[in-house]
Structure 1
């Protein structure tokens, strides 16, 4: 509102009262009214006001309000904030119900709800308001009725809250159950995955063991095959050697037997009474010629000494053989003759 209109509102003030009746108002000038906190009595009757703004409930300094003969169809939900309100005139409006917060008007002493299309229970509670007493009783009964409604609303709100809590609990329980199932499923999946990996590991170890066993068998087979081949090869290679060794041994034995036989013949012809026999004459002659030839040869002194030593040893041997002649002639003669020629060969 302009400054001039504010001054006009001041003109409407008389002490603690402000008279705005018959001003053809369609709205309540709440902001302007808030500028006059000392005004406790407000007359807004006989206007065209259809609703009260929410800000109207902030005018808690008001004690008496006259809203009769307007077009009100509903009151603000926070009307209970007018905690100092003692008298309220709502005569001849279009109200059907009152806000539940109406029960919070604890200081309300006077109320007029005549000529309103009130719902039946509220109308019964309001009754008539034809005089001061009836209007006071109307205030008391309506407050009681609104408190009952407030209790029911509170209970309903409590039930709704309880239901919401129960639903929330059920929701939380379902959420927890779902989370538990998910955890169990994850746990089961992990266990299955672990078991699968364990089986794969065991299968891998078993496969490695089988492969290792196969490798061992192959290696053993290869080793046996190689050994057999080597043995066969060695046998093939050693056969000629063995034959050669056998042949050489045989020849050596034959030579040894020949030398032994020759030594035996020489011994018999030199040491026995057979030396004059025709068969021993060539042998003795050959032995004598050989010894003479050796003596006549111009060899080194050491060689001569060696020959003389051999001659001495040979004579000693022949003497021993002469003493053993009877035994040499027995069946064991070959064994005895083996020893003598060996020494002779070595000498």
Structure 2
């Protein structure tokens, strides 16, 4: 029970505080992207480095399987949802209107920030490391399948891609990941002052991103779209679980890795589809509203996760 309470407060309290700060306009709208940039470009790379630099060789052996698993998962979830959306758009004007957004949301989820917290709480440090492995190529794969989506369904409006923003968001994580892998595999011991300094930034990452998620959510507008979104979100969840059940049968993964995959199968939407939607000129308000409904639904599944592991 103590572990469940810790998970619930650690995940939803920062989100609630972010929503409260937005409603009270405690943080000016123009400053909110700065928090997200700090988290993505500094805090998250520090967390990735701190985790990978302390891994053992057994854990290192799961890097390639988990990275290949992510591509396999994206392929299964994207192709399944594409087929369903292609068929449903002929019968539903709502699906046709938001088909690009729905397809982006179909293969994106909070596989990092929320799930990393659960990986660490439920499985332990090796769970966090495998969770980081799984998301190693998240951004490159995300962009690849996003380009594929807009090539098929097109954009709501034309908008040029900001290549500098993309490099700033992707490069630090990949560089710190490579450095963390090198230190972890070689067994090099960093000076305590350096490891402590990097860890202090890494400890900010998950609470800060969850707080930023709360800043981007509008509860009232989200509730008005709930009737349309809940069936889609449950459909997405069913396909994610199905894809995961296929993956855990593969011999590549050890037990902690399979545990990570099972937790990820329940992951809610995160901030990534909002960022992608903004880059490609989609309806980001619709995606943001979907995020809060998905996150609230996820609250129902957290006790299930702890029950399964108990």
The structure richer in strand per residue is 1
TM-score by length of 2: 0.19
TM-score by length of 1: 0.17
- Pick the structure with greater CA Rg: 1
